[in-house]
Structure 1
Amino acid sequence: ARTFQNLALFKGLSVLDNVASGLAYKVRSNFAGQVLGIGRSRGEQRDSRSRAEQILEFLHLTAIRDRLVGTLPYGLQKRVELARALVAEPRLLLLDEPMAGMTASEKSEMASFVRAARDRFATTVVLIEHDVGVVMGLSDRIAVLDYGRKIADATPDEVRNDQRVIDAYLGVASDNEDGAGI
Protein backbone atom coordinates (compact mmCIF):
# COMPACT_ATOMS: atom_id res chain seq x y z
CA ALA A 1 0.00 0.00 0.00
CA ARG A 2 1.14 3.58 -0.44
CA THR A 3 0.29 7.19 0.24
CA PHE A 4 0.92 10.08 -2.09
CA GLN A 5 2.75 13.38 -1.70
CA ASN A 6 -0.35 15.06 -3.10
CA LEU A 7 -3.53 13.78 -1.51
CA ALA A 8 -5.53 11.24 -3.50
CA LEU A 9 -8.69 11.08 -1.41
CA PHE A 10 -12.36 11.17 -2.38
CA LYS A 11 -13.25 14.63 -1.06
CA GLY A 12 -17.01 14.06 -1.38
CA LEU A 13 -16.99 10.86 0.68
CA SER A 14 -16.89 10.41 4.43
CA VAL A 15 -13.74 9.53 6.34
CA LEU A 16 -15.10 6.00 6.89
CA ASP A 17 -15.89 5.50 3.19
CA ASN A 18 -12.45 6.76 2.16
CA VAL A 19 -10.75 4.35 4.54
CA ALA A 20 -12.98 1.44 3.49
CA SER A 21 -12.10 2.17 -0.16
CA GLY A 22 -8.63 0.85 0.65
CA LEU A 23 -10.16 -2.63 0.68
CA ALA A 24 -11.83 -2.39 -2.75
CA TYR A 25 -9.24 -4.72 -4.25
CA LYS A 26 -10.46 -7.54 -1.97
CA VAL A 27 -14.08 -7.41 -3.18
CA ARG A 28 -15.10 -10.62 -4.91
CA SER A 29 -18.82 -10.01 -5.35
CA ASN A 30 -20.08 -8.84 -8.72
CA PHE A 31 -21.42 -5.41 -9.55
CA ALA A 32 -25.10 -6.42 -9.35
CA GLY A 33 -24.58 -7.99 -5.93
CA GLN A 34 -22.91 -4.83 -4.68
CA VAL A 35 -25.63 -2.53 -6.01
CA LEU A 36 -28.45 -4.71 -4.67
CA GLY A 37 -26.65 -5.65 -1.46
CA ILE A 38 -27.18 -9.37 -1.97
CA GLY A 39 -25.07 -12.48 -1.77
CA ARG A 40 -21.54 -12.21 -0.49
CA SER A 41 -21.51 -8.42 -0.98
CA ARG A 42 -23.27 -7.85 2.37
CA GLY A 43 -20.61 -9.77 4.25
CA GLU A 44 -17.82 -8.06 2.33
CA GLN A 45 -19.25 -4.63 3.09
CA ARG A 46 -19.68 -5.50 6.76
CA ASP A 47 -16.11 -6.84 6.97
CA SER A 48 -14.70 -3.77 5.16
CA ARG A 49 -16.49 -1.37 7.48
CA SER A 50 -15.41 -3.32 10.56
CA ARG A 51 -11.77 -3.27 9.49
CA ALA A 52 -12.01 0.43 8.59
CA GLU A 53 -13.49 1.19 12.04
CA GLN A 54 -10.53 -0.58 13.69
CA ILE A 55 -8.05 1.56 11.77
CA LEU A 56 -10.03 4.74 12.49
CA GLU A 57 -9.80 3.94 16.19
CA PHE A 58 -6.07 3.21 15.92
CA LEU A 59 -5.41 6.59 14.26
CA HIS A 60 -7.82 8.48 16.55
CA LEU A 61 -10.21 9.33 13.72
CA THR A 62 -13.40 7.73 15.09
CA ALA A 63 -14.92 11.06 16.16
CA ILE A 64 -14.83 12.34 12.56
CA ARG A 65 -15.75 9.08 10.80
CA ASP A 66 -18.89 10.59 9.19
CA ARG A 67 -17.40 13.92 8.12
CA LEU A 68 -16.70 14.59 4.47
CA VAL A 69 -12.96 14.40 3.83
CA GLY A 70 -13.03 17.64 1.84
CA THR A 71 -14.08 19.56 4.96
CA LEU A 72 -11.12 18.39 7.06
CA PRO A 73 -7.90 20.30 7.69
CA TYR A 74 -4.93 19.17 5.63
CA GLY A 75 -3.19 17.33 8.49
CA LEU A 76 -6.26 15.20 9.17
CA GLN A 77 -6.63 14.44 5.46
CA LYS A 78 -3.06 13.12 5.47
CA ARG A 79 -3.97 10.88 8.42
CA VAL A 80 -7.06 9.61 6.56
CA GLU A 81 -4.80 8.71 3.65
CA LEU A 82 -2.53 6.78 6.01
CA ALA A 83 -5.61 4.98 7.37
CA ARG A 84 -6.69 4.01 3.86
CA ALA A 85 -3.27 2.49 3.22
CA LEU A 86 -3.15 0.67 6.57
CA VAL A 87 -6.62 -0.84 6.23
CA ALA A 88 -5.24 -3.12 3.50
CA GLU A 89 -2.86 -4.71 6.05
CA PRO A 90 0.23 -4.18 3.89
CA ARG A 91 3.50 -5.93 4.57
CA LEU A 92 5.23 -3.02 2.83
CA LEU A 93 3.99 0.55 3.20
CA LEU A 94 5.43 3.19 0.86
CA LEU A 95 4.99 6.70 2.24
CA ASP A 96 5.74 9.40 -0.33
CA GLU A 97 6.47 12.59 1.63
CA PRO A 98 3.78 12.00 4.27
CA MET A 99 4.84 15.14 6.17
CA ALA A 100 4.75 17.54 3.21
CA GLY A 101 2.83 20.71 4.05
CA MET A 102 2.29 19.81 7.70
CA THR A 103 2.96 21.92 10.78
CA ALA A 104 5.59 20.80 13.29
CA SER A 105 2.94 19.41 15.65
CA GLU A 106 1.18 17.56 12.80
CA LYS A 107 4.52 16.07 11.73
CA SER A 108 5.22 14.89 15.25
CA GLU A 109 1.78 13.32 15.54
CA MET A 110 2.04 11.65 12.12
CA ALA A 111 5.50 10.30 12.95
CA SER A 112 4.07 8.75 16.12
CA PHE A 113 1.30 7.09 14.13
CA VAL A 114 3.73 5.75 11.51
CA ARG A 115 5.99 4.35 14.23
CA ALA A 116 3.02 2.78 16.05
CA ALA A 117 1.69 1.26 12.80
CA ARG A 118 5.11 -0.18 11.98
CA ASP A 119 5.34 -1.78 15.40
CA ARG A 120 1.74 -2.94 15.81
CA PHE A 121 1.21 -4.35 12.33
CA ALA A 122 4.80 -5.54 11.68
CA THR A 123 4.82 -3.46 8.51
CA THR A 124 7.99 -2.50 6.70
CA VAL A 125 7.87 1.24 6.00
CA VAL A 126 9.68 2.79 3.04
CA LEU A 127 9.75 6.51 3.66
CA ILE A 128 10.45 9.16 1.02
CA GLU A 129 10.79 12.36 3.00
CA HIS A 130 12.78 15.60 2.87
CA ASP A 131 12.40 16.49 6.55
CA VAL A 132 15.69 15.17 7.89
CA GLY A 133 14.50 15.27 11.50
CA VAL A 134 11.52 13.06 10.65
CA VAL A 135 13.71 10.64 8.69
CA MET A 136 16.25 10.38 11.50
CA GLY A 137 13.53 9.87 14.10
CA LEU A 138 11.59 7.19 12.23
CA SER A 139 14.23 5.17 10.46
CA ASP A 140 16.24 2.13 11.44
CA ARG A 141 18.16 2.35 8.18
CA ILE A 142 18.53 5.23 5.72
CA ALA A 143 19.52 5.26 2.06
CA VAL A 144 20.70 8.69 0.90
CA LEU A 145 20.61 9.68 -2.76
CA ASP A 146 22.53 12.50 -4.41
CA TYR A 147 21.34 13.21 -7.96
CA GLY A 148 19.89 9.70 -8.17
CA ARG A 149 23.06 7.97 -6.99
CA LYS A 150 23.14 6.22 -3.62
CA ILE A 151 25.88 7.73 -1.48
CA ALA A 152 25.02 6.16 1.87
CA ASP A 153 23.03 3.24 3.25
CA ALA A 154 23.39 2.95 7.01
CA THR A 155 21.89 3.65 10.43
CA PRO A 156 20.76 7.20 11.23
CA ASP A 157 23.87 7.84 13.36
CA GLU A 158 26.19 6.58 10.65
CA VAL A 159 24.42 8.67 7.99
CA ARG A 160 24.52 11.76 10.20
CA ASN A 161 28.32 11.48 10.40
CA ASP A 162 28.98 10.35 6.81
CA GLN A 163 31.22 12.92 5.09
CA ARG A 164 29.70 12.18 1.65
CA VAL A 165 26.24 13.03 2.99
CA ILE A 166 27.52 16.16 4.70
CA ASP A 167 29.28 17.30 1.51
CA ALA A 168 26.25 16.57 -0.69
CA TYR A 169 23.66 18.26 1.49
CA LEU A 170 25.60 21.00 3.26
CA GLY A 171 28.22 21.64 0.61
CA VAL A 172 31.97 21.45 0.60
CA ALA A 173 33.84 24.31 2.23
CA SER A 174 35.90 26.30 -0.25
CA ASP A 175 39.62 26.67 0.08
CA ASN A 176 39.24 30.41 -0.69
CA GLU A 177 40.95 32.62 1.82
CA ASP A 178 37.94 34.93 2.03
CA GLY A 179 35.86 32.07 3.46
CA ALA A 180 33.18 32.38 0.78
CA GLY A 181 32.87 28.63 0.41
CA ILE A 182 30.12 26.24 -0.43
Structure 2
Amino acid sequence: MTAARPAAGAHGRFAGCPGEDERRLRAAAETGELDAMIELGHALEHRKAYREAEDWYRTAADRGLIGALGGLLHHTRGDFAQVERWYHHAIDAGVLPALTDLGSRHHDRGDRAAAEHWYRAAAEVGFPGGTEGLATLRVHRGDLEGAGRWYRRAADAGDPVAADYLARLLRRQARESGRPSRGDRK
Protein backbone atom coordinates (compact mmCIF):
# COMPACT_ATOMS: atom_id res chain seq x y z
CA MET A 1 0.00 0.00 0.00
CA THR A 2 1.23 3.48 -0.78
CA ALA A 3 2.26 5.99 1.80
CA ALA A 4 -0.37 8.67 1.46
CA ARG A 5 -0.97 11.17 4.18
CA PRO A 6 -4.30 11.54 5.97
CA ALA A 7 -6.44 14.61 5.54
CA ALA A 8 -7.02 17.15 8.24
CA GLY A 9 -10.69 16.74 7.40
CA ALA A 10 -13.38 18.30 9.54
CA HIS A 11 -10.89 19.00 12.32
CA GLY A 12 -8.26 20.65 10.13
CA ARG A 13 -7.04 24.20 10.39
CA PHE A 14 -9.74 25.36 7.97
CA ALA A 15 -12.62 23.85 9.95
CA GLY A 16 -14.57 25.81 12.50
CA CYS A 17 -12.75 29.11 12.00
CA PRO A 18 -15.15 31.98 12.60
CA GLY A 19 -15.62 34.01 9.45
CA GLU A 20 -13.95 31.41 7.23
CA ASP A 21 -15.72 31.44 3.93
CA GLU A 22 -15.71 29.53 0.72
CA ARG A 23 -13.68 32.21 -1.06
CA ARG A 24 -10.73 31.78 1.34
CA LEU A 25 -10.94 28.01 1.08
CA ARG A 26 -11.04 28.22 -2.71
CA ALA A 27 -7.99 30.51 -2.79
CA ALA A 28 -6.04 28.09 -0.59
CA ALA A 29 -7.21 25.05 -2.59
CA GLU A 30 -6.22 26.69 -5.86
CA THR A 31 -2.67 27.15 -4.54
CA GLY A 32 -2.50 23.39 -3.91
CA GLU A 33 -3.35 23.28 -0.19
CA LEU A 34 -4.67 19.74 0.14
CA ASP A 35 -6.56 20.24 3.41
CA ALA A 36 -8.29 23.26 1.89
CA MET A 37 -9.42 21.09 -1.03
CA ILE A 38 -11.17 18.75 1.40
CA GLU A 39 -12.75 21.56 3.39
CA LEU A 40 -13.86 23.27 0.19
CA GLY A 41 -15.39 19.97 -0.91
CA HIS A 42 -17.31 19.82 2.38
CA ALA A 43 -18.46 23.43 1.99
CA LEU A 44 -19.61 22.76 -1.57
CA GLU A 45 -21.48 19.65 -0.45
CA HIS A 46 -23.20 21.69 2.24
CA ARG A 47 -24.63 23.97 -0.42
CA LYS A 48 -25.36 20.95 -2.66
CA ALA A 49 -22.75 21.75 -5.34
CA TYR A 50 -21.91 18.06 -5.62
CA ARG A 51 -20.18 18.07 -9.00
CA GLU A 52 -17.72 20.75 -7.95
CA ALA A 53 -17.19 19.04 -4.59
CA GLU A 54 -16.39 15.84 -6.46
CA ASP A 55 -13.83 17.72 -8.59
CA TRP A 56 -12.01 19.00 -5.50
CA TYR A 57 -12.08 15.57 -3.84
CA ARG A 58 -10.71 14.05 -7.04
CA THR A 59 -7.88 16.61 -7.20
CA ALA A 60 -6.93 15.95 -3.57
CA ALA A 61 -7.15 12.18 -4.05
CA ASP A 62 -4.97 12.36 -7.16
CA ARG A 63 -2.35 14.07 -5.02
CA GLY A 64 -2.43 11.26 -2.43
CA LEU A 65 -4.70 12.66 0.24
CA ILE A 66 -6.51 9.68 1.75
CA GLY A 67 -9.27 11.73 3.37
CA ALA A 68 -10.44 12.87 -0.05
CA LEU A 69 -11.31 9.35 -1.08
CA GLY A 70 -14.27 9.09 1.27
CA GLY A 71 -15.93 12.16 -0.20
CA LEU A 72 -15.03 11.13 -3.70
CA LEU A 73 -16.46 7.64 -3.35
CA HIS A 74 -19.61 9.04 -1.80
CA HIS A 75 -20.23 11.41 -4.69
CA THR A 76 -18.66 9.82 -7.76
CA ARG A 77 -21.22 9.45 -10.49
CA GLY A 78 -20.79 7.63 -13.73
CA ASP A 79 -20.24 4.07 -14.72
CA PHE A 80 -19.25 1.34 -12.31
CA ALA A 81 -15.76 1.02 -13.83
CA GLN A 82 -15.00 4.63 -12.88
CA VAL A 83 -16.27 4.14 -9.34
CA GLU A 84 -14.38 0.86 -9.03
CA ARG A 85 -11.15 2.62 -10.08
CA TRP A 86 -11.53 5.01 -7.14
CA TYR A 87 -12.20 2.15 -4.76
CA HIS A 88 -8.98 0.51 -5.91
CA HIS A 89 -7.21 3.83 -5.41
CA ALA A 90 -8.58 3.98 -1.84
CA ILE A 91 -7.60 0.37 -1.16
CA ASP A 92 -4.07 1.03 -2.42
CA ALA A 93 -3.94 4.02 -0.06
CA GLY A 94 -4.84 1.78 2.89
CA VAL A 95 -8.46 2.84 3.37
CA LEU A 96 -9.76 -0.47 4.76
CA PRO A 97 -13.50 0.35 4.65
CA ALA A 98 -13.12 0.58 0.86
CA LEU A 99 -12.63 -3.21 0.79
CA THR A 100 -16.08 -3.88 2.22
CA ASP A 101 -17.67 -0.98 0.35
CA LEU A 102 -16.41 -2.40 -2.94
CA GLY A 103 -17.69 -5.82 -1.88
CA SER A 104 -21.08 -4.29 -1.14
CA ARG A 105 -21.20 -2.54 -4.52
CA HIS A 106 -20.47 -5.85 -6.27
CA HIS A 107 -23.05 -7.60 -4.09
CA ASP A 108 -25.67 -4.97 -4.98
CA ARG A 109 -24.88 -5.53 -8.67
CA GLY A 110 -25.41 -9.28 -8.25
CA ASP A 111 -21.74 -10.22 -8.65
CA ARG A 112 -21.42 -12.39 -5.56
CA ALA A 113 -18.05 -13.87 -6.60
CA ALA A 114 -16.46 -10.41 -6.73
CA ALA A 115 -18.25 -9.43 -3.52
CA GLU A 116 -16.81 -12.49 -1.79
CA HIS A 117 -13.32 -11.62 -3.04
CA TRP A 118 -13.43 -8.13 -1.50
CA TYR A 119 -15.16 -9.23 1.70
CA ARG A 120 -12.51 -11.94 2.14
CA ALA A 121 -9.72 -9.40 1.56
CA ALA A 122 -11.24 -7.22 4.30
CA ALA A 123 -11.62 -10.19 6.65
CA GLU A 124 -8.00 -11.24 6.08
CA VAL A 125 -6.75 -7.87 7.32
CA GLY A 126 -9.08 -8.04 10.32
CA PHE A 127 -11.70 -5.55 9.15
CA PRO A 128 -15.03 -6.65 10.71
CA GLY A 129 -17.15 -5.56 7.76
CA GLY A 130 -15.45 -8.24 5.70
CA THR A 131 -16.43 -11.07 8.02
CA GLU A 132 -19.99 -9.74 8.22
CA GLY A 133 -20.13 -9.53 4.42
CA LEU A 134 -18.93 -13.12 4.07
CA ALA A 135 -21.51 -14.26 6.61
CA THR A 136 -24.28 -12.43 4.75
CA LEU A 137 -23.28 -14.10 1.48
CA ARG A 138 -23.46 -17.48 3.25
CA VAL A 139 -26.94 -16.70 4.57
CA HIS A 140 -28.10 -15.81 1.05
CA ARG A 141 -26.73 -19.15 -0.18
CA GLY A 142 -28.55 -20.99 2.59
CA ASP A 143 -25.25 -22.00 4.22
CA LEU A 144 -26.17 -21.17 7.79
CA GLU A 145 -23.28 -23.13 9.28
CA GLY A 146 -20.80 -21.19 7.15
CA ALA A 147 -22.53 -17.93 8.08
CA GLY A 148 -22.28 -18.89 11.75
CA ARG A 149 -18.53 -19.44 11.47
CA TRP A 150 -18.01 -15.98 9.97
CA TYR A 151 -20.33 -14.27 12.46
CA ARG A 152 -18.55 -16.06 15.31
CA ARG A 153 -15.16 -14.92 14.01
CA ALA A 154 -16.35 -11.29 13.92
CA ALA A 155 -18.07 -11.60 17.31
CA ASP A 156 -14.94 -13.12 18.85
CA ALA A 157 -13.03 -10.10 17.52
CA GLY A 158 -15.40 -7.84 19.48
CA ASP A 159 -17.94 -6.88 16.81
CA PRO A 160 -21.26 -6.41 18.67
CA VAL A 161 -23.34 -6.37 15.47
CA ALA A 162 -21.91 -9.73 14.43
CA ALA A 163 -22.56 -11.08 17.93
CA ASP A 164 -26.21 -10.05 17.59
CA TYR A 165 -26.50 -11.67 14.15
CA LEU A 166 -24.84 -14.81 15.49
CA ALA A 167 -27.34 -15.00 18.36
CA ARG A 168 -30.24 -14.59 15.92
CA LEU A 169 -28.79 -17.22 13.62
CA LEU A 170 -28.34 -19.70 16.47
CA ARG A 171 -31.94 -19.13 17.60
CA ARG A 172 -33.14 -19.64 14.02
CA GLN A 173 -31.14 -22.87 13.69
CA ALA A 174 -32.51 -24.13 17.02
CA ARG A 175 -36.11 -23.36 15.95
CA GLU A 176 -35.65 -25.06 12.60
CA SER A 177 -34.18 -28.16 14.24
CA GLY A 178 -36.88 -28.28 16.91
CA ARG A 179 -34.34 -27.78 19.71
CA PRO A 180 -34.99 -25.06 22.26
CA SER A 181 -32.37 -22.30 22.24
CA ARG A 182 -30.99 -20.79 25.45
CA GLY A 183 -33.33 -17.83 25.00
CA ASP A 184 -36.32 -20.20 24.70
CA ARG A 185 -35.57 -22.14 27.92
CA LYS A 186 -37.26 -21.18 31.16
Shared fold per TM-score greater than 0.5: no
Q: Which has the higher contact order (CA 8 A, sep 6+)?
A: 1
Structure number with higher helix proportion? 2
Structure number with higher strand proportion? 1
Calculate the TM-score normalised by the size of structure 1. Answer: 0.37
Calculate the TM-score normalised by the size of structure 2. Answer: 0.37
